[in-house]
Structure 1
Amino acid sequence: MVLVAAVRDYVSKMLSDIAGMKVFVLDAQTLAIVSVATSQSELLQKEVFLVEKAESTSSEPMTHLKAVCFLRPTAENMQNLKEILGQPRFGEYHLFFSNILKTNFVQNLADFDQHEAVQQVQEFYADFIALDPYHFTLNTPSNHLYMVPLLFDPTKIQPLCERIIEGVSSVFLALKKRPVIRYSRNSEIARRIAQDAARLMYEQEAALFDFRRTEVLPLLLIIDRRDDPVTPLLNQWTYQAMVHELIGIQDNKVDLREYSRVPKDQQEVVLSSEQDPFFRSNMFENFGDLGMNVKKMVDTFQSQHKSNQNIQSLEDMARFVENYPEFRKMQGNVSKHVALMTEMSRLVDERKLMSVSQAEQELACHSSQAAAWDELNAQWELPGVTDDEKLRLAMLYALRYERENPQQLQELVDRLNAGRSKYNSNLLYSLLKQAGEEKRTGDLFSNRDLFNRARTMARGLKGVENVYTQHQPLVFHLIESIVKGRLKDADYPFVGNHAQQGKPQDVVIFIIGGTTYAESRVVALQNAANPGTRVLLGGTVVHNSKSFLRDLEEVQRVGRASIY
């Protein structure tokens, strides 16, 4: 429970060391950081009776409460603290910041505290949202800016770069490690962030990162979403990734309010591997096995429900009352997973996803252009296939065969125009401009060298357990190369003179532009298969196909605006 445990430990320490009734003051980002790692009941156990936002305008004095403030060290929060400490409402203030405090911020805090209400100021390095044990996100706004050339508007792109450096550095401070840093050769923003992160860790804050050295230093590998544009375009068939693709997950919460068949008490549900044992056991299961496991859970619940109905004595009643909270929790879990399965099944049938997804996997994993073209055309003719599916099929075909037949690409654009798609048909060319073969680092389709081609053929000859999960993200091949010590220096150069000797035991792969739940599944399975290496995955956001296409649209809009 590496990342989640780190955040939980920080939250526990800041709340447990302060006795008495407390109010927890959070900003929008630290609220997300805390909410995915702890539950309301856990906060109550720590005597937290109120959670309040830093920008709250309430003026009601509550001097019997102690304020525990957990905030990001931003200019906005400094302004909030100036107002809070100017007229303190609570008896004491304990200030905790999620990252490194600048010297002028510390001086400002001293100036703000005219009433001497502040009892302590500390840095607790939890400046990331730990969605799962090995997966974190930063939830950056304007995520599309990573695709905009750095010289286009530095004032807009600089905050994104700074936020990434702050988030990544806090992960290593929480882990108490200083890494060597490598980056994707073809990505200008990856190079810049890698160099700035190295400057922070090895020069500006060298003393803070001066942890006990290991024989082989940890590795931070910074890559670009454009190196693998295929993974976020694919339909998904394992539980967590599928929920995000079809419905959407935000900070481990699923909003089901627009689905009329869902009961009112299940319209917003939590999918957390920490808080839900069934989800933890099934988050990486494929759709077919998941359906069987949900049925088993329902059967188990029904048998327990029948036994609870058979109350014939005071002992039976006492036993039922004692187990009632657990029974209610199980009832809620059963309803939640049945509701999600029901909606996903409906969407799969409605959008012909079994047929479409098989075609997507063929496009992503096999290399017969003629067969791929025929399959794409066949899918476009199927009734019920949506504009989203048609566009993504066209994009997958374009990424794989962009050099083979330009006339076919133009034909796809014309057909998208003729179909009155809700998307701009030039989005297909925008994708190639952003993430075409010349722009990518690494061997996305495993077809550049003899070793990769042989490995792909061998995998095909052995057969595939599930035709819907044939594709392996680029992250899979990167981890494989790191574990075997084969990651190419030419493709992923080191920053400075910190070249690595030997295979690292700790690896953080950060994807500028966003991760996917398909990639977090790969990381979790690889960690289980390679106990000698621990890989963590992080990114600016967590993508599904809709959010990835939105980013492409935003970049296209920015490009048009710059022309005019």
Structure 2
Amino acid sequence: MNTLIATQQYVHEMTRLSGPGMKVLLMDKETTSMVSCAFAQSEMMAREVYLFERLDTGAEREPLKFLKCLVFVRPTLENIQILTEELRAPKYAQYYLYFSNIISKADLKILAEADEFEAVREVHEFYIDAIPLSPYLTVLAMPLCYETPFNLSGGNFRRCAQALLALALQFKKKPAIRFQKSSRDAQRLADEFVKMTVREDKLFEACRNDTVIVIMDRSEDPVSPLLNQWTYEAMVHELIGMNNNRVNMTNVPDEGIKNIVLSAQHDDFYAKNRYLNFGEIGQNIKSLMNDYQKKAQTHQQLESIADMKKFVDQYPQFKKIAGTVAKHVQLVGELSRLVGAQNLLEISELEQTIVATGDHSQCFDRLKRLLKHEKTTDLNALRLTMLYALRFEGSSSNSLPALLEILRQRKMSIRQVESVNTLLRYAGARKRQNDLFGNKSAVEMTKRFIKGLKGVENVYTQHEPYIMQILEQLHKGKLSEIIFGASELNTLNTHYDNVIIFIIGGATFEESTFIHLYNERRLTNPGLPRVVLSSTSVHNTKTFIEQLIQLTPDSQAVPPFASIA
């Protein structure tokens, strides 16, 4: 199960079915993101796709009757309406319609009636209904998915159900379902998915039953999106921000590249370093610079026609290396600046201490000092306070009111301060069913005790996301029936070859890293299942807290993150 390869295969099939000739690719907003994360523009041009357009810009597009048109869109009501108008006055010679999910017979009839010029040559369903950020991570474009307090709205709920259906069909699986019982949305989503598989039973006839989908809510693990990250990909998203593998550097003070693409398919350095920690990246950047300098000195020594010819032959590769060096030196330099400017080493160490050890006496005084530290941003102050609130919610030593008062003294808005209590309502101890901090399970307490005796290899990366507990329990056939219900009783303790984890409310790149490492372990332990992570979005701390602030009532209506950086 590789979402990136599956997406590429579907797009290759689109270009093959349309035959030879110059083509335009017509997409909507979401399918544009799906294709751009799977292909570089040059790769599409090599398949005779020379023009890329948006379906919703019909009035702006010029008629080009010599081009074939590949239409790849989601089968939404809006897209069907726009496509109907397009077919009534076609701008291209032929149309090949590809939908990212199941399209209804009624909508097909509407399109057929609109095709008065008989321009449509092919109609297919290709199941790519989420953005493939990596081989094992797909997301929807829904960073603020809760439109009512802690519940998916009707539109967002349907979008999640459709994405799950497409993911199952993409891999030709008819999965069993396990769902978080404490989450109304997870249970509704599981029920809806089962109904959809029954309704579309013919599509699932040849599908294998070796897969389970685990549907959970972000509220079951609110800690992961609140921690500072120290692997390359996660750090970039945490400190700068990344949207569909693109990094906007316009707010970075130094001159340099303003829009950076981080693609493991087209950037060997990023492919090798995206899951490594910051210390290793520094060493690898130095090696990359040294290699580049050696090549640059070689190219400067052009003493004969043969040397010049060799340089011309190697110039594209040399230029690519130069671009790679410039991009990553700029990124790592900015990350390093932010780590120092925001005192993140000390902040991250305290975060991990709060989460991993839970010793109130070790944490409280350090926390108060850091909340008042001149380098601590409002975002980091909120982050630390939220972690404290979760960790010591039931402790007799809990002093959360004192910390909230410090936030008020920092002139943070009412809504921002109150978002700490919103977090407890959303994901506090009463909402969670799992043993997030390892306080209840004798096994988890023993593990923590042994780790304490041994010491930790890296104080900044002690935390392990809750989804790893889920995978371990699934593999052993011991996923709790109390916490996770099942679509069918006979699926409770079955071993599965493949696992899809779907998180309502946003995943994190920390979780994606652990999924990558888990799948890597299959090389030495083939008995482990393959795992794909899917979610409504990829959170960093800022977007996660913005979601909480959005759900926090405030009569003054202070804009979310008006002063948080």
For the aligned pair, the TM-score class normalised by the smaller chain equals: over 0.9
Residue 229 of structure 2: aligned partner? 236
Instruction: Check conservation: 1:73, 1:99, Cα contact below 8 A.
Output: yes
Query: Using a 3 Å threshold, how does the CA distance of structure 1 residues 278 and 232 change in structure 2: closer, same or farther?
Result: same
Shift in Å, 1:59: 5.0
Deviation by residue 1:296-355 (Cα, 9 ceiling, x = unmatched): 001101001111111112221111111111111111011010000111111111111111
Which piece of structure 1 moves more, 517-526 or 136-145?
A: 136-145
**Amino acid of the structure 1 residue aligned with 2:403:** L
Deviation by residue 1:172-225 (Cα, 9 ceiling, x = unmatched): 111011110001121111111011111111x111111122435xx311000000
Q: Which secondary structure state, in structure 2, belongs to the residue aligned with residue 388 of structure 1?
A: helix
CA distance in 2, matches of 1:198, 1:107: 27
Instruction: Check conservation: 1:177, 1:218, Cα contact below 8 A.
Output: yes
CA distance in 2, matches of 1:40, 1:493: 44
| 1:46 matched to 2:47 | yes
Which piece of structure 1 moves more, 420-429 or 317-326?
A: 420-429
Q: Taking every aligned residue pair, what percent have the same amino acid on both sides?
A: 37
**Amino acid of the structure 2 residue aligned with 1:556:** T
CA distance in 1, matches of 2:505, 2:113: 39
CA distance in 2, matches of 1:550, 1:25: 33
Instruction: Check conservation: 1:3, 1:133, Cα contact below 8 A.
Output: yes
For residue 263 of structure 2, the aligned residue among 267, 272, 275 is 272
CA distance in 2, matches of 1:444, 1:487: 15
| 1:538 matched to 2:539 | no
Instruction: Check conservation: 1:227, 1:440, Cα contact below 8 A.
Output: yes
For residue 80 of structure 1, the aligned residue among 66, 71, 82 is 82
CA distance in 2, matches of 1:387, 1:140: 25
Instruction: Check conservation: 1:506, 1:535, Cα contact below 8 A.
Output: yes
Deviation by residue 1:66-108 (Cα, 9 ceiling, x = unmatched): 0000000001101110111111010000000000011211111
Residue 563 of structure 2: aligned partner? none
CA distance in 2, matches of 1:557, 1:326: 55
Structure 1 unaligned regions, length at least 5: 151-156
Residue 290 of structure 1: aligned partner? 281
CA distance in 1, matches of 2:491, 2:129: 27
Q: Which secondary structure state, in structure 2, belongs to the residue aligned with residue 109 of structure 1?
A: helix
Which piece of structure 1 moves more, 525-534 or 174-183?
A: 525-534
**Amino acid of the structure 1 residue aligned with 2:177:** I
**Amino acid of the structure 2 residue aligned with 1:524:** H
Q: Which secondary structure state, in structure 1, belongs to the residue aligned with residue 538 of structure 2?
A: coil
CA distance in 1, matches of 2:162, 2:101: 7
Query: Using a 3 Å threshold, how does the CA distance of structure 1 residues 340 and 59 change in structure 2: closer, same or farther?
Result: closer
Structure 2 unaligned regions, length at least 5: 558-565
Residue 251 of structure 1: aligned partner? 244
Instruction: Check conservation: 1:234, 1:357, Cα contact below 8 A.
Output: yes
Shift in Å, 1:294: 0.6
Shift in Å, 1:465: 1.3
Shift in Å, 1:2: 0.8
CA distance in 2, matches of 1:327, 1:421: 50
For residue 554 of structure 1, the aligned residue among 550, 554, 558 is 550
Q: TM-score scaled by structure 1?
A: 0.95
**Amino acid of the structure 1 residue aligned with 2:538:** V
Shift in Å, 1:496: 3.4
Q: Which secondary structure state, in structure 2, belongs to the residue aligned with residue 493 of structure 1?
A: strand
Residue 108 of structure 1: aligned partner? 110
CA distance in 2, matches of 1:253, 1:404: 42
**Amino acid of the structure 1 residue aligned with 2:469:** H
Shift in Å, 1:504: 1.0
Q: TM-score scaled by structure 2?
A: 0.94
Residue 95 of structure 2: aligned partner? 93
Shift in Å, 1:558: 8.8
Residue 490 of structure 1: aligned partner? 482
For residue 138 of structure 2, the aligned residue among 136, 139, 148 is 136
CA distance in 2, matches of 1:141, 1:522: 21
Matched residue pairs, number? 550
For residue 175 of structure 1, the aligned residue among 142, 166, 171 is 171
Deviation by residue 1:377-423 (Cα, 9 ceiling, x = unmatched): 23223221111111111110110111124861122222211221255
Deviation by residue 1:218-270 (Cα, 9 ceiling, x = unmatched): 1100000011111111111110000000000100000101113131xx21111
Residue 205 of structure 2: aligned partner? 210
**Amino acid of the structure 1 residue aligned with 2:285:** V
RMSD: 1.7
CA distance in 2, matches of 1:441, 1:356: 28
CA distance in 1, matches of 2:162, 2:177: 15
CA distance in 2, matches of 1:141, 1:98: 21
CA distance in 1, matches of 2:514, 2:366: 28
Residue 154 of structure 1: aligned partner? none
Which piece of structure 1 moves more, 376-385 or 182-191?
A: 376-385
Instruction: Check conservation: 1:23, 1:49, Cα contact below 8 A.
Output: yes
Which piece of structure 1 moves more, 48-57 or 135-144?
A: 135-144
Shift in Å, 1:58: 2.6
Instruction: Check conservation: 1:186, 1:441, Cα contact below 8 A.
Output: yes
Deviation by residue 1:511-558 (Cα, 9 ceiling, x = unmatched): 000100000000000111134310000100100000001100111149
Shift in Å, 1:441: 2.8
